[in-house]
């Protein structure tokens, strides 16, 4: 028998530590009804040079790969069948083996993914096998979480049952972004509306070029003064700056680099 007050064990597989994931996991770790362990695939990526200390405030470990698989996570599915698994993605051999075991034994799990790449080219045979496996995995999940409406729509196209889909956004500390009370003595007139994007400057992934073109159209209609600041770095930074100049927004678009 399990005591009524026993915390529910959760094993959460995540790609890598980030500030927004930390904020989520720290809050979950503070819930006395949950016993959370986060299993990270990577420690740090060159494309995400975070300066903040990460993977803190919650129980965490990093993959220890043997023949490309973290067998510790896989063994948990067999040793701890009362636990709940939340698996971020299915593109790693560890996730694939784990999800197959969870589905075969009818164990509790959920999936979480960003926007799936529906246009990626795969061989016809592999694509059919992958699609069939994913539909099988989807059908056994308790919930399927997609980060944002495009992710949810993509999952639906892949065969995920609509009744299981949840729009699950990234978490941030709202208190950290509260505006200071009051305004300057000259009011808001001398301060243009500041629009900010935070993300790698890779247009096919983040769409900063779409934002610049949209702002160029807005500028033509007049209205309030604005500036667009992009926090991040990436291979398309020069392209964004050139686009801003060609759209007449050279003085309104600023690339701030990685912050």
Provide the pLDDT for residue 186: 52
The Cα diameter of the chain in Å comes to: 70
Positions of CATH 3.40.50.2000 in the chain: 8-167, 183-257
Question: pTM value?
Answer: 0.81
Instruction: With a cut of 70, list the residues of the chain below it in pLDDT.
Output: 1-5, 179-190
36: which residues sit within 8 A by CB, 6+ positions away?
10, 12, 25, 28, 29, 58, 59
Cα separation, 108 vs 131, in Å, equals 21
Provide the pLDDT for residue 1: 43
CA neighbor of 160 nearest in space, from 170, 169, 151: 151
**Fold exhibited by the domain 183-257:** Rossmann fold (3.40.50)
Whether the Cβ atoms of residue 212 and residue 243 lie closer than 8 Å to each other: yes
CA 25 from chain centre, in angstroms, equals: 13
Q: Measure the CA angle with vertex 120, ends 115 and 121; round to 5°.
A: 165
Residue 90 per-residue DSSP state:
S
The CATH H-level (homologous superfamily) assignment of domain 8-167 is Glycogen Phosphorylase B; (3.40.50.2000)
Whether the Cβ atoms of residue 10 and residue 36 lie closer than 8 Å to each other: yes
Whether the Cβ atoms of residue 229 and residue 193 lie closer than 8 Å to each other: no
Provide the pLDDT for residue 168: 94
Whether the Cβ atoms of residue 45 and residue 72 lie closer than 8 Å to each other: no
Cα separation, 33 vs 6, in Å, equals 7
Label the pairing between strands 165-167 and 144-146.
parallel
Q: Measure the CA angle with vertex 122, ends 119 and 127; round to 5°.
A: 100
162: which residues sit within 8 A by CB, 6+ positions away?
156
């Amino acid at each position: 028998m399990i005591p009524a007050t026993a915390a529910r064990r959760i094993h959460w597989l995540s790609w890598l530590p980030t500030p927004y994931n930390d904020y989520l996991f720290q809050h979950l770790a503070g819930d006395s009804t949950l016993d959370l362990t986060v299993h990270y695939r990577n420690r740090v990526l060159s494309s995400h040079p975070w300066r903040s200390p990460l993977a803190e405030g919650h129980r965490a470990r990093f993959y220890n790969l043997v023949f490309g698989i973290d067998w510790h996570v896989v063994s948990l599915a067999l040793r701890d069948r009362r636990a709940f698994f939340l698996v971020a993605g299915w593109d790693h051999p560890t996730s694939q083996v784990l999800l197959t075991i969870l589905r075969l034994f009818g164990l509790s799990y959920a999936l979480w993914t960003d926007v799936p790449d529906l246009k990626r080219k795969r061989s016809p045979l592999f694509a059919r096998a992958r699609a069939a496996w994913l539909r099988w995995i989807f059908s056994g999940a308790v919930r399927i979480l997609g980060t944002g409406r495009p992710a949810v729509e993509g999952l639906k196209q892949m065969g995920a049952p609509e009744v299981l889909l949840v729009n699950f956004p990234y978490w941030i500390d709202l208190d950290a972004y509260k505006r200071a009370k009051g305004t300057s003595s000259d009011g808001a007139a001398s301060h243009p509306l500041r629009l900010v994007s935070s993300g790698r400057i890779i247009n096919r992934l983040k769409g900063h070029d779409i934002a610049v073109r949209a702002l160029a159209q807005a500028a033509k209609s007049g209205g309030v003064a604005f500036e667009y600041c992009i926090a991040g770095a990436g291979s398309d930074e020069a392209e964004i700056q050139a686009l801003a100049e060609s759209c007449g927004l050279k003085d309104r678009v600023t690339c701030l680099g990685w912050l």
